[in-house]
Amino acid sequence: MSDAVEVCAVVDPVAHEGRDPVPVAPPLGDLAGKRVVVLDITKVRSEAFAAEVRRRLAQAVGAEVDGGVVMPAQRMSDEELERVAGSCDGAVLTLADCGTCTTWTAWDAIELHRRGCRAVLVTTEALRPMLGALVGRLGMADLPLVAVPQPNRDQTVEEIAATAAAAVPAIVRALAG
């Protein structure tokens, strides 16, 4: 048995004030002709949610809507963030419905704002309180959020489409300001 003593730093998770504030990117106003990307974070049946949001945004407000995919359990790379922010006016990140994916997706949305891209995070009502605490720590207490009643995994594809359709007016308001 060794007499060596290992030292382990103890970190108080509530002692740090968080990151420097990130300003909310300006509202887009009228979305007609604006380039918006809907980022699917590849959760259970998330492609159905993202596809319906894309279709409805293009149909309802005349935005030029593209789709993309990002991984839910890690942050977007700086190159991905720069590419998205440089190629569109706004972004919708869908559907953050668990703890890990919600944390990283919130980080990505805030980083898009840091780069001047208006981003809206779509999450569930159950995770909204956690996000309220988290986004302030990540530097943006006023991150535009839209909450849906339940996660995709608890719904059929038809129910997911209806949930997405019901969320689009709030997404439009969050993008437009």
At residue 24, the pLDDT reads 96
At residue 20, the pLDDT reads 87
pTM: 0.89
| Domains, the chain, with CATH or none | 35-176 (3.40.50.1700)
Per-residue pLDDT of the chain (177 residues; tens, 9 = 90+): 567 777 766 555 555 556 889 999 999 999 999 999 999 999 888 999 999 999 999 999 999 999 999 988 889 999 999 999 999 999 999 999 888 889 999 999 999 999 999 999 999 999 999 998 899 989 999 999 999 998 888 899 999 999 999 999 999 999 999
Helix residue ranges per DSSP H, 8-94? 46-61, 78-87
Handedness of CA 46, 49, 53, 54 (dihedral sign): positive
At residue 98, the pLDDT reads 87
- The answer, yes or no, to whether the previous bond of 95 is cis (omega within 30 of 0) is yes
At residue 17, the pLDDT reads 59
At residue 106, the pLDDT reads 95
Q: How many CB atoms lie within 10 A of CB 120?
A: 25
At residue 10, the pLDDT reads 58
Cα–Cα distance for residue pair 127/168, rounded to 1 Å: 19
Q: Which residues have a Cβ under 8 Å from the Cβ of 136 and sit 6 or more positions away?
A: 18
